[in-house]
Amino acid sequence: MNTTPDHTFIPLSPIVHPWISSLLQHGSLLHEMVDKEQSPVNIQSIKPFEENIGKYQEVFEKYGLDYRIYFARKANKCIGFAKAAASLRQGVDTASYNELAQCIEADIPAGQLILTAAIKNEDTLTLAVQHAVHIIIDNLDEYHLLEAIARTQEKEVSISLRIGGFDLHGEVMHSRFGFSKDEAFRLITENVSSHPYIRYEGLHFHLNGYSMEARAAALAQCVLLSDELASQGIETKQLDIGGGFLVNYLESEQEWLTFHRELKRAIRGERPALTYQNDALGIIKIDNVLYGEPTVYPYYNDTYRERFLDAILRSEVSPFTQPLHAVLRERNIQLRIEPGRSLLDQAGITVARVAFRKKDTAGALLVGLEMNRTQMKSSSADFLLDPIHLPTVRKEDDNEPVEGYLVGAYCLEQEFILKRKIVFDSYPEVGDLLVFVNTAGYMMHFFESQAHQFALASNVFCSETLDMRRDDE
Ligand SMILES: *Cc1c(COP(=O)(O)O)cnc(C)c1O
């Protein structure tokens, strides 16, 4: 049954958590929030975040592992999530001076904080040393600066070393981050282990991409390194495998596969476009031959979130003859993870108001939203989830579905909130709302900017009784 009629819209139905469904039934509350906070408004909920932490905990507990979950707060700016992680006795991974300072200010105990920032200047390291925050060291210059600060402050500081360049199928996994295993071994045995102020505690990695196999291989190689260190009498207390746990955003694998198939047909000109001006979403077309895949996040996944962790832990990686969970348990090593996106799964929505409708020069319907594309943007070429249209007034007749595109407030031809063509159940009216679900992880914050002097969006938390309060209140 490969014959999709040419004009068929290909839906990508998002998974919608019950807190979002119940909020959507209170459209007037959403209108109130947009009126009060301006458009767009980011609405968050702690409940799914707590549930997600619980799901990871179940996996660790199933295998009897010592563990700690550090929420990578760079994925969302709200302090509310960092506080929630801390109150569940987990931790927060901070990636800048301000992220760290805000957590300290919020009274999150330093023992529950780690610093992984890619650039750690003197101020940042000094703040971490003063508060005895565990630091992940990436390179020798950073290490020497930390040494100097610890000596001046006469303070002990515990560190992990970030490792890069793991082997996978006989090839080095390229990375700009971390020490090679040999460099780390030398630094730890020749310097850190006898240092008056610096205490070696563990190894760390955070891999780009979403390969379960690469993470299992990297973890196994860290265990081997810890064994070599143990043979020199040096204990490794913890291994930290970073984040990058996949999220599943979509209800239907079939829709996801159909979308990919039809996108390619559209780019070859075999059916009407699925995207604005037939944007190829990163696929390259030469002489009507397509190369590569769309450069989009893998929005549909079977092995996601805690299942992804479970799959890593169940992996057997040679030379070990047991699954990794048993290898870790046997050595009494604490396993740490730093999920960002996956702890925020279902924890936030973005709500924006329709400002205008118009036609472009080709006759396509454009729906202008009071928001800009940096307010819902990640490195993915498009956010491939159907938005939800909340009409201001329900019209009885005249409910013809209509196709169109969502455009935003920055004065650029490329300023599309979504590149994908959207179907509205009824013709959008000025003042209607568009709701984008599952935007708390990266989408709402990571790239938000203030061009044209637009204010940043407000961040509001919604309680189970649908009370709203600002993140900073
Ligand atoms: C970004 C980052 C994370 C979080 O990654 P997710 O994909 O959001 O889970 C964790 N650790 C480090 C060091 C990071 O840079």
Residues 234 and 213: their CA atoms lie apart, in Å, by 28
Checking if the pLDDT of 5 tops 60, the result is: no
Q: Whose CA is nearest to atom 11 of ligand 1?
A: 242
Q: What is the mean pLDDT of residues 191-217?
A: 96
Model confidence band, residue 6 (pLDDT cutoffs 50, 70, 90): low
How many Cβ atoms are within 10 Å of 54's Cβ, its own excluded?
11
pLDDT digits (tens, 9 = 90+) for 273-283: 999 999 999 99
- Going from the Cα of 70 to the center of ligand 1, the distance in angstroms, rounded, reads 10
Query: Which tokens go with 441?
Result: 């992880």
As to burial, measured by CB atoms within 10 angstroms (0-12 exposed, 13-18 middle, 19+ buried), residue 342 is: buried
Using the mean position of ligand 1's atoms as its centre, give its distance from the Cα of residue 252 in Å.
27
| Mutation test residue for ligand 1: of 53, 99, 142, 206, the one with most atoms within 8 Å of CB | 206
Cα 223 to averaged position of ligand 1 atoms, centre (Å): 21
CA-162 nearest atom, ligand 1? 13
- For ligand 1, atom 15: residue with the closest CA: 206
- Closest atom of ligand 1 relative to the 74 alpha carbon: 1
Are 318 and 71 in contact by the 8 Å Cβ rule? The answer is: no
Sign, Cα dihedral of 110, 47, 298, 219: positive
d(CA 276, ligand 1 centre) in Å: 31
**In sequence order, what are the beta bridge partners of 433?**
353, 390
C-alpha to C-alpha distance for 411 and 54, rounded to whole angstroms: 44
Q: Which atom of ligand 1 is nearest to the CA of 341?
A: 8
Contact 388, 434 (CB under 8 A): yes
Please tell me the distance between residue 342's alpha carbon and the centre of ligand 1 in angstroms.
10
Looking at residue 154, what DSSP letter applies? T
Which pairing describes strands 91-94 and 67-72: parallel, antiparallel, or unpaired?
parallel
Residue 35 has pLDDT above 90, yes or no: yes
Report whether 288 contacts 266 (CB < 8 A).
no
CA of 242 to the centre of ligand 1 (A): 6
Q: Which residues line ligand 1 (CB under 6 A)?
A: 72, 74-75, 93, 116, 206, 242-245, 338-342
For β-strands 41-44 and 458-462, DSSP reports them as: parallel
pLDDT tens for residues 309-367?
A: 999 999 999 999 999 999 999 999 999 999 999 999 999 999 999 999 999 999 999 99
Q: Is pLDDT of 256 > 50? A: yes
Residue nearest to atom 7 of ligand 1 (CA): 244
Alpha helices in 316-399 (DSSP H): 324-331
Quote the ligand 1 centre to 206 CA distance (angstroms).
7
- Per-residue DSSP letters for 30-82? HHHHHHHH-SSEEEE-HHHHHHHHHHHHHHHHHTT--EEEEEEGGG---HHHH
Q: How far is the CA of 69 from the centre of ligand 1 (A)?
A: 12
Q: Identify the band that residue 3 occupies on the pLDDT scale cut at 50, 70 and 90.
A: very low
Q: What is the pTM of this model?
A: 0.96
The stretch 150-156 carries a mean pLDDT of 97
Centre of ligand 1 to C-alpha 274, Å, is 32
Q: Which of 130, 13, 112 is nearest to 71 (CA)?
A: 112
Stretch (H or E) spanning 352: strand 348-359
Residue 249: is its pLDDT beyond 60? yes
**Whole-number average pLDDT of the chain:** 96
Show Cβ contacts of residue 332 under 8 Å, excluding neighbours closer than 6 positions: 66
**Which pLDDT score, from 0 to 100, does residue 472 have?**
79
d(CA 247, CA 269): 32
- Counting atoms of ligand 1 from 1, which one is nearest the CA of 338? 10
What confidence score (pLDDT) does residue 473 get? Answer: 72
Q: Which atom of ligand 1 is nearest to the CA of 116?
A: 13
Q: How far is the CA of 172 from the centre of ligand 1 (A)?
A: 21
Q: Taking residues 295-307, report their average pLDDT.
A: 97
Which atom of ligand 1 is least distant from the CA of 136? 13
| Chain-centroid distance, C-alpha 439 | 9
For ligand 1, atom 10, name the residue with the nearest CA: 243
pLDDT in tens, 96-146: 999 999 999 999 999 999 999 999 999 999 999 999 999 999 999 999 999
- What is the atom index within ligand 1 of the atom nearest the CA of 204? 13
Best residue for ligand 1 mutational test, from 74, 99, 207 (most atoms within 8 Å of Cβ): 74
**d(CA 469, ligand 1 centre) in Å:** 27
Strand partners, 353: 433
Q: What is the pLDDT of residue 397?
A: 66
Three-class SS state of 22: helix
Choice from 92, 93, 160, 446 to test ligand 1 binding pocket (greatest atom count within 8 A of CB): 93
Q: How far is CA 108 from CA 27, 292, 473, in A?
A: 36, 45, 17
- What's the pLDDT score for residue 342? 98
Mutate to test the pocket of ligand 1, among 338, 342, 438, 442 (most ligand atoms within 8 A of CB): 338
Contact 27, 431 (CB under 8 A): no
Give the N- to C-terminal CA distance of the chain in Å, as an integer: 54
What number of other Cβ atoms are within 10 A of residue 119's Cβ?
10
**Closest alpha carbon to 323 in 90, 62, 68:** 62
Q: Where are the beta strands (DSSP E) in 282-330?
A: 284-286, 289-291
Ligand 1 centre to CA of 136 (Å) is 13
Atom of ligand 1 nearest to the CA of 244: 7
Ligand 1 centroid to residue 373 C-alpha, Å? 23
pLDDT value of position 393? 79
pLDDT, tens digit, for every residue of 359-400? Answer: 999 999 999 999 999 999 999 999 999 999 999 877 666 678
Task: Check residue 466 and report its DSSP letter.
Answer: -
Mean pLDDT of 231-258: 98
Report residue 134 as tokens: 């565990």
- Long-range contacts of residues 269-278, Cβ cutoff 8 Å, at least 24 apart: 271/4, 271/6, 272/6, 272/7, 273/421, 274/10, 274/420, 274/421, 275/382, 275/419, 275/420, 275/421, 276/364, 276/405, 276/416, 276/419, 276/420, 276/421
The pLDDT of residue 398 is 67
Task: Identify which of 279, 251, 270 has the alpha carbon closest to the alpha carbon of residue 382.
Answer: 279
Atom of ligand 1 nearest to the CA of 343: 9
Compute, in angstroms, the gap from residue 6 CA to the centroid of ligand 1.
40
H or E element at residue 199: strand 198-204
